[in-house]
Structure 1
Amino acid sequence: MFRTILCFFLSLSCLAFAGCGLPPAPAGKEYERVVVISDLHYPSKTRDNPKRQAIMDNKAKAREDINSWQDVDLKVFTGDMVEMYGSMNQMEEAKQFIDGFAGEKAYLAGNHELFYKEELKDGKPVMADPALRKAHEDNYRKVFGPLHSTKTLGQYLLVFLSPEDTESRFPVAMAKEEMDWLRQTLKENQNTPTLIFYHAPLSDTMIPYNDKIGNPRNFAQPAGDIDLILLTNPQVKLWVSGHTHTPPTQPTFASEVNYYHGKVLDVYNPTWDGKQVWSNSIYLYKDKIVIKTYDHKKGAWMDELTRTVML
């Protein structure tokens, strides 16, 4: 009898903390906090074994850091969680690591979950045909859930989108049905401050720092349709992206150029598959949004990169 009662109260405790292992949030918290994990590429695209292990260790350490933060309401994984391809094995391997993050999580797909077949040409993955891309979408839904969805957090609407166009030559293109769904979703929430999470950034929101950055393949498509949606929905305040692997060491990471048409801030998120790990935290207040960047190697905030968007 005593053991039954004890188990019951332990179960209630886990529910109260939104998942066992997650400490309670500080009393009187005036914001909701979202941590963004982008381009995880777990275990690692690096084939050199010593470097690969060091990168994997960095990822595990950063996960420990984030799990220790008591005020996090949601972790968002903005695509390219898999090592390279959308096979069931790679999706399940990435998901097993991700399951080690405590608390509530949200997902969206990137090009590596959906766009490629398991073949390399000149060291780069090869585009899959539409049938295989649809098979990858099925794998994704089985492991991670829907390819597009929404969540309400406080007074904010969070929209999660994936590159669902299986016919496009661009690896980060939305499907027509998905865009129709996005238009309707925004129409129904015209007075709700909104954040859109998508794997690729918006066109012309970064300073080119190598010869690949200006390529349309690196920006959300179809660009013209997305442009019209954003210009007619001023409630969209942030576009949260990955894909370009842009690190905080680049001046374009936190720059005025990140504002799309001077209105929507594109928040760039670096890859976790490099020599070190950084992560962005988005703090949602009633009157503003604050974005802060954390250096997991130094164990410190990069205060010079803090950005604030007033509502």
Structure 2
Amino acid sequence: MNLLNPRLRRFYRKDLSMFRSILCFFLAFSCLAFAGCGQQSSPSEKEYERIVVISDLHYPSKTVDAAKRQAIIDNKVKARDEINGWSDVDLKVFPGDMVEMQGSMKQMEEAKQFIDGFTGEKAYLAGNHELFYKEELKNGKPVMADPALRKAHEENYEKVFGPLHSTKKLGQYLLIFLSPEDTEGKFPVAMSKEEMEWLRKTLKENSQTPTLIFYHAPLSDTMIPYNDKIGNPRNFAQPAGDIDLILLTSPQVKLWVSGHTHTPPTQPTFANEVNYYHGKILDVYNPTWDGKQVWSNSIYLYKDKIVIKTFDHKKGEWMENLTRTVTL
């Protein structure tokens, strides 16, 4: 039996409706308040695949000063934990120079142990510091290894991280991962002839598939030089002429994702029209994690476009002025 008279029932229903409205508003506000800054949307609502690029990790750190070194390591741990909190990430890519300085098995295993702390799926490619140098320093700097040792480094790398070059499909996109596999030449970031032939064949077989290429070094002439080292051929993907012929006959390649130069977002060349190789392929520069602060790029793969965003892990916010879009 309903003990409330009609007038009281009307007030009760009115109060209940107001309570429900307040509860819904509170729940919606709570979701916004506790969502991470790097988060875009819940995975079930996604219209994209998201890649986070973690370049030039140099773990633990090339810095020798104890206090500075520890601060840099702490920044890396903080950024790693922050990225692990982004639930919409499909893949984390490490485009080389993961080791502190040289490609010894010990340094590779130490870097891999830290990287294993990143959750989710990961992809790797080698840089010059994994493959190119002797295992001892001279006056605090690395020295070029002979071909036999460089080959040994490649074998060690594959034991710890996997293949030196590989592919992966992500949504409608093809991802190609390449390493500087040349063991004979003088350039620290050069592909081998066999690797370039594999790349040529892979692109030909996927000529209709929008493609991203990940390589440790950037493409030539895609940067405004901001110091004497940046313009050196040792800092661009080699052999430049052969790579040029492959790319100019592969219009499906939309991005070349690189590290190596440690270019920070504070440099005007970081997100600039000059980054377009022959005006067609966007070279996405990625900063090192081995500095005073950490930034990371996220690449969002939509059906009709690619969006690149840069996150400042020190401030905990996006650098919106650096957002770039490539339409398909």
With normalisation by structure 1, the TM-score equals: 0.92
Separation in 1 of the partners of 2:294 and 2:313?
Answer: 6
* Structure 1 match to 2:175: 158
Asked whether the 8 Å contact 1:245–1:270 carries over to 2, the reply is yes
TM-superposed CA distance for 1:265, in Å, is 0.1
Check if 1:55 corresponds to 2:72: yes
| Residue from 282, 295, 308 that aligns with 1:278 | 295
* Structure 2 match to 1:17: none
| Residue from 250, 257, 282 that aligns with 1:233 | 250
Check if 1:242 corresponds to 2:274: no
TM-superposed CA distance for 1:260, in Å, is 0.2
Q: Which has the larger radius of gyration?
A: 2
Alignment of 1:116-195 (within 5 A): 116-195=133-212
Poorly superposed stretches of 4+, deviation over 4 Å = none
Tell me the alpha carbon deviations over residues 244-264 of structure 1, each in whole angstroms, 9 at most, x when there is no partner.
000000000000000000000
Unpaired segments ≥5 residues, structure 2: 1-40
Structure ranking higher in strand proportion: 1
Check if 1:260 corresponds to 2:277: yes
Asked whether the 8 Å contact 1:293–1:302 carries over to 2, the reply is yes
1:175 maps to amino acid: S
TM-superposed CA distance for 1:122, in Å, is 3.8
TM-superposed CA distance for 1:123, in Å, is 3.0
Separation in 1 of the partners of 2:139 and 2:227?
Answer: 19
Separation in 2 of the partners of 1:25 and 1:102?
Answer: 17
* Structure 2 match to 1:110: 127
Separation in 2 of the partners of 1:50 and 1:138?
Answer: 35
Tell me the alpha carbon deviations over residues 202-236 of structure 1, each in whole angstroms, 9 at most, x when there is no partner.
00000000011110000000000000111000000
| Residue from 221, 227, 243 that aligns with 1:210 | 227
1:63 maps to amino acid: R
| Residue from 94, 97, 100 that aligns with 1:80 | 97
Secondary structure of the residue aligned to 1:66 is: helix
* Structure 1 match to 2:45: 28
2:50 maps to amino acid: R
Tell me the alpha carbon deviations over residues 32-53 of structure 1, each in whole angstroms, 9 at most, x when there is no partner.
0000000000000000000000
Tell me the alpha carbon deviations over residues 110-144 of structure 1, each in whole angstroms, 9 at most, x when there is no partner.
00000000232343200000000001001100000
Check if 1:308 corresponds to 2:325: yes
Separation in 1 of the partners of 2:185 and 2:122?
Answer: 29
Separation in 1 of the partners of 2:166 and 2:320?
Answer: 32
1:291 maps to amino acid: I
2:206 maps to amino acid: N
2:284 maps to amino acid: V
The percent identity for this pair of structures is 87
Asked whether the 8 Å contact 1:25–1:71 carries over to 2, the reply is yes
Asked whether the 8 Å contact 1:25–1:72 carries over to 2, the reply is no
Separation in 1 of the partners of 2:136 and 2:90?
Answer: 38
* Structure 1 match to 2:62: 45
* Structure 2 match to 1:290: 307
* Structure 1 match to 2:238: 221
* Structure 2 match to 1:8: none
CA RMSD of aligned residues (A): 0.9
* Structure 1 match to 2:12: none
Separation in 2 of the partners of 1:119 and 1:264?
Answer: 38
* Structure 2 match to 1:18: none
TM-superposed CA distance for 1:168, in Å, is 1.0
Change in CA separation of 1:153 and 1:127 when aligned onto 2, cut-off 3 Å: same
Aligned length: 288
TM-superposed CA distance for 1:25, in Å, is 4.9
Separation in 2 of the partners of 1:187 and 1:216?
Answer: 28
Separation in 1 of the partners of 2:139 and 2:112?
Answer: 29
* Structure 2 match to 1:9: none
Tell me the alpha carbon deviations over residues 10-66 of structure 1, each in whole angstroms, 9 at most, x when there is no partner.
xxxxxxxxxxxxxx9521200000000000000000000000000000000000110
1:142 maps to amino acid: K
Secondary structure of the residue aligned to 1:183 is: helix
Secondary structure of the residue aligned to 1:246 is: coil
With normalisation by structure 2, the TM-score equals: 0.87
Tell me the alpha carbon deviations over residues 260-289 of structure 1, each in whole angstroms, 9 at most, x when there is no partner.
000000000000000000000000000000
